[in-house]
Structure 1
């Protein structure tokens, strides 16, 4: 006997329970990465236990046993999260309660509780991800829960699951228009849950702190960081070497970490203030639109340099003195904003100021060999022929030449660095990724008494052939430097391009090892793999733009398109109420129409039964017309002869072989029904 046959032979309760169990597992599965390990194991064990009990027809555990598991789940949640409130603790607890409730599934009331917990758990998946994959998986979960709910309301017999699935699918389709209307017009609200923790350590991407040498191997993350649409006739982007999207700027170094300069009230000493931006632009501006993926940090990513505030309604934005744009809250949702940048620009003071000395400071006791190298370069007449002159340009070029010709390697696997990271890079390992190279370069510049800092962000991008958008990935995360030069201000210097010119010029990236499936597809058909990736990213981009990025401003734009000159929340509520009322009236009309489409022969028979009841003859609902005619003849005699004859002809019509003739005959019987002289109620008739 096959598994399908075995499943079909199970009792109705066991079959329905196993189906519901499968749906609940599907709902919980995406939460595995968000749950503590003990919660995942406990939920899996409870589900397997419940499935075994249903398969074997064994009794459910006692309530005392369930109470022990509930206490363990609450204790585990408190131990892990130190609370039972909040997003993470709440999701953990609700998953545990759902799994435990399956072990208490004895009556329909218990099933209703499971359904409601299942719908809430399904919703909680969106607390962590609003991706297209998550939405598709939860759509399947929704149909599965609706199927189980419909099945629970069919208590008689063994209705096939396909029948319940069809009913559930029709319910979902009928509700889709009102769901779409609510999505488009229901007021947009900020997320009610907390901000997820940062999980970028050890992977490419941006962080608020740059630790040098603590990651032995960098794993390239090919996930999308942002998408860019350039406002040019052909959507063309500037050259790859100019695509520097500015992120966190680090000006403070403690020997192992690079940190941003603090702008808090306690640091507002004149000798510690960062130098003013003094941004000066020239040439034609570059206009573009960015769709930024959530990164749980407050910064925005814009091309150097953006003097104007990006267009992002509903969020407070400001630019720091080192040209970095921030929002007033972390970016936890997909953002879309328009910006204007000038590829040709200068910024910073033209002459040395006390504030610039901040960018020459180094911690004591670190990198002695790099300090000695700097002194050697200072004393080298080939590099600095006149110590009294400003030799900044020559010293910078000498450092870059050393990177080009000294056997340095751009690598994702440099190993762990020790205390003196710059010394190890310059003299020992001579390999690293962009953070190592930029950090060692800035340390050398500061040892030469040249103001320098590290800028992180993204460099490069690739054009999607399907939708024309430029895709910037986490693997495009990059670190470069800015060196201050008299008369020029802050000048971008990318030391990584000296080690590996293809990193910024020809757009050559180091490749991380791929999985077996991706490797096989890429080997068999490189073009197919690339096209599949482009199509998927184009579809995902549309999802981000039209669903995740459907903001308050776009709601108001929709009302303007509908004819509202100055739309407000009152207008939004009015339109939403009108649509809901229209759908409600449409539902009422549909119900009435559907009732009219029921078997007209049965409706006519029911009407005749009601006329007999009004005359004092109550006939059972299951009585056929022939038996009804006999009862009428016996009750009313000659007075009911015409009605009895009409009932007999109504019965013969039921089995008429010609459907068209039967339809015409039914219309004739309906007219006769209205013309018949029906018997009257007689209180003296026994």
Structure 2
């Protein structure tokens, strides 16, 4: 009881205060950890959280902030996050909450313990970034933040360590952290390169609250403005052998059949009726290529017209559309073979599909329908010749009177009438929609196809880059004896009538200046290489890597054994390096052991179990001239184990004498 009472009356251990230098180290490291996470959020949220993260240390310089200020900041940020994400919970929402809490954490940073808590919490931010993006920039910034946090933690530990130890310079602390990372690097490489890769993931992550853009199965006037303005990559394509001309690169996505007067949509059951039939004999040209598709929230694949077969993990429908069996929420690769559309044809059109491809909503676009009926009367009954004539007539009209521009007003109820007879200006979604309505009004089965067109050939990597701004819509008409024929009314516009040219939107071009294109080419090639060797490292690439080292194709059991052996060796090496670093960190201990090695060469080495004093006495018995060694050992023991007040001068003198001593 007396002991308990005494312990209760004993003063609590004081928490070391936080000096200004340590505070700056901790704040800078936390901001650096937060940076890569902020870059993956919407711009408005990035600016808001970033501004709070910079303002909080100024508002609470001593780690104290009024309660009302904390409440206002927390309510404002959390309310903004939940409103922006529509009160949906997912990866985006969780990461935004983490960033918000990290930005507000410095309001309670008063002591070393608080700073250590901030840094430990900040280390979650780089790891959370990889839930949103796994690119090289995110990795580089995440590593920089982690290194800064570890360096700051090392600085805090020095403050709490022995006051006699001189403070290290910043570069010295950074070098020590770099050595720690280098020690663990072999184990990390073994885990990455040799851990058995499985065809299906072992775990999943929550869905994103904000969907990534992709091709939609709907098309309405004005819907594509944001997509066409998005210059981010959609896919990268490498051809093995011959490649089509850029003007013939039509990357087929959705087929839209149904029109309600404003919106075109796909019809799921039409795929079950469609049957892709090919003309007898092999196609004259086959394109062999690999696509690397950026993540989206959809399962629709695109393929160069026309895909010959579905790759593993996807299904090819009768309208030549490809659908993945899983959502494309991660980087995926697909090996495909395609033939030009002229080499493939359907021999007949199912009556139900013919009816669907001629259907128009009643009461819409009367002027367009009147024009189509007049063209039909002038061309004669529907056959291959008359239908071809109507298609050419429509294209000649577009070529003569229409212009291409992205600056278009929103169309009204009779959108096709307004476009064809009043506006006569627009982009692909206007042209494809109006053309298909015009063809259907003339009795020609027609449908809208969406996807991408063209691409940019990166001269550095030799591959084709297709961006989301390359999104395109075109038409297909049914011609007897030929089947479905692609018709691109947008491509019929005369060059002098194109106001928004492709060159204006080429990668790296700013205001017509293309001097930054080489920088873009190298940057995108680096991103593709990262996708190739890191994000795309799968079971096939793992087998190829092992075979390059002469290791034959291993089954799963042999690969697991190889992984375990390599892991044990890497951990043993890491343990040896760690203990060696700890043993040799003290310069005095290093100088003493170098001196011991000189005696070992004479057969007078000290076993690890023998105390220094016993070793010196043994040498004195064998060598009468060991007086200098006795004196050095006494000074060494006193400096290392006793309390000393000699300062740096005595330490330098002892180091000098140990280095000069010879047996």
Q: CA deviation at 1:441?
A: 0.2
Deviation at 1:302, TM superposition (A): 1.4
What does residue 480 of structure 1 align with?
A: 474
Report how far residue 368 of structure 1 moved. 0.9
- Matched-pair contact (CA < 8 Å) for 1:296–1:330: yes
User: Aligned in 2, Cα 1:217/1:154: closer, same or farther, shift over 3 Å?
Assistant: closer
Partner in structure 2 of residue 307 of structure 1: 308
Q: Deviations for 1:150-193, whole angstroms, at most 9, x for unmatched residues?
A: 21221146543222222222222333332222222345536513
Counterparts in 2 of 1:531 and 1:646: CA distance versus 1, 3 Å: closer
Q: Structure 2 length as normaliser, TM-score?
A: 0.79
- Tell me how far apart the structure 2 counterparts of residues 420 and 64 of structure 1 sit (CA, whole Å): 56
Query: Structure 1 residues 590 and 199 mapped into 2: Cα distance closer, same or farther (>3 Å)?
Result: closer
State the Cα distance separating 1:212 from its structure 2 match. 1.9
Could you say if the C-alpha distance between residues 278 and 345 of structure 1 is closer, same or farther in structure 2, counting changes exceeding 3 Å? same
* Aligned residue in 2 for 1:355: 353
What is residue 19 of structure 2 aligned with on the other side?
13
Query: Are positions 1:533 and 2:520 aligned together?
Result: yes
Counterpart position of 1:458: 452
1:194 equivalent among 207, 225, 234: 207
The residue aligned with 1:323 is 320
Shift of 1:551: 2.2
Pair 568,508 (structure 1): closer, same or farther in 2 beyond 3 Å: farther
Does the alignment pair 1:50 with 2:33?
no
Aligned to 2:390: 395
Relative to structure 1, the CA distance from residue 494 to residue 74 in structure 2 (aligned partners, 3 Å threshold; closer, same or farther) is closer
CA distance in 1, matches of 2:612, 2:32: 55
Q: Residue 571 of structure 2 aligns with which residue? A: 584
C-alpha RMSD of the superposition: 4.2
Report if aligned partners of 1:98, 1:118 keep a CA contact under 8 Å in 2: yes
Pick which of 82-91 and 337-346 moved more. Answer: 82-91
Match of 1:5 in 2: none
The structure 1 residue matched to 2:441, chosen from 447, 460, 470, is: 447
1:348 shift after superposition: 2.6
Cα gap change, 1:168/1:571 in structure 2, threshold over 3 Å: closer, same or farther? Answer: same
2:97 maps to 93
The equivalences for 1:94-109 within 5 A come to 94-109=98-113
SS in 2 for 1:153: helix
What secondary structure is seen at the aligned counterpart in 2 of 1:127?
A: coil
Partners of 2:98 and 2:299 in 1: CA distance: 31
Which structure 2 residues correspond to residues 238-387 of structure 1 after superposition, within 5 A?
Answer: 238-263=244-269, 274-280=273-279, 282-310=283-311, 312=312, 316-343=313-340, 344-350=342-348, 353-380=351-378, 384-385=379-380
Could you tell me whether the CA contact under 8 Å between 1:243 and 1:459 is conserved in 2?
yes
Provide structure 1 residue ranges, at least 5 long, that are not aligned to the other structure. Answer: 1-10, 616-624, 630-637, 669-686
Match of 1:134 among 124, 138, 158: 138
Correspondent of 2:531 among 539, 544, 561:
544
Q: Once the 2 structures are TM-superposed, how far is the Cα of residue 226 of structure 1 from its aligned partner?
A: 1.6
1:164 aligns with 2:162: no
Shift of residue 536, structure 1, vs aligned partner: 1.5
> What is the count of residue pairs matched by the alignment?
604
Distance 1:18 1:48, change over 3 A: farther
**C-alpha displacement at 1:111, in angstroms?**
3.3
Q: Distance in 1 between matches of 2:497 and 2:351?
A: 34
Q: Determine if contact 2:613/2:633 at 8 Å carries over to the other structure.
A: no
Q: Say whether the 8 Å CA contact 2:212–2:297 is kept in structure 1.
A: no
Structure 2: stretches of 5+ with no match in the other structure: 1-16, 597-605, 637-649
CA distance 1:230–1:660, change in 2 (3 Å): same
Q: What SS does the aligned partner of 1:511 have?
A: helix
SS in 1 for 2:31: helix
Alpha-carbon distance between aligned partners in 2 of 1:286 and 1:612, rounded to the nearest angstrom: 78
Q: Find the aligned partners of 2:34 and 2:375 in 1 and give their Cα distance.
A: 62
Q: Is the 8 A contact 2:23 2:115 kept in 1?
A: no
Q: Give how far 1:431 is off.
A: 0.9
Distance 1:462 1:589, change over 3 A: same
TM (norm. structure 1) is 0.77
Q: Deviations over 1:269-305 (max 9, x none)?
A: xxx9643222446213221111222232212221111
* 1:571–1:175 Cα change, 3 Å: same
Give the Cα–Cα distance (whole angstroms) in 1 for the partners of residues 506 and 457 of structure 2. Answer: 23
Name the CA distance, whole Å, in 2 between partners of 1:567 and 1:237.
36
| Cα gap change, 1:167 to 1:332, in 2 (>3 Å) | same
For residues 52-106 of structure 1, give each alpha carbon's deviation from its aligned partner in whole angstroms, at most 9, with x where no partner exists.
543xxx3524789768866776677666657695323322322233233322233
Q: Check conservation: 2:235, 2:293, Cα contact below 8 A.
A: yes
Cα gap change, 1:61/1:553 in structure 2, threshold over 3 Å: closer, same or farther? same
- Mean CA deviation greater in 360-369 or 35-44: 35-44
> Cα 1:500–1:150, aligned 2, differ >3 Å: closer, same or farther?
farther
1: distance between equivalents of 2:64 and 2:503?
56
Partners in 2 of 1:462 and 1:36 — Cα distance? Answer: 28
DSSP 3-state at the match of 2:306? coil
Matches of 2:266 and 2:88 in 1, distance apart? 35
State the Cα distance separating 1:374 from its structure 2 match. 0.7
Counterpart for residue 630 of structure 2: 647
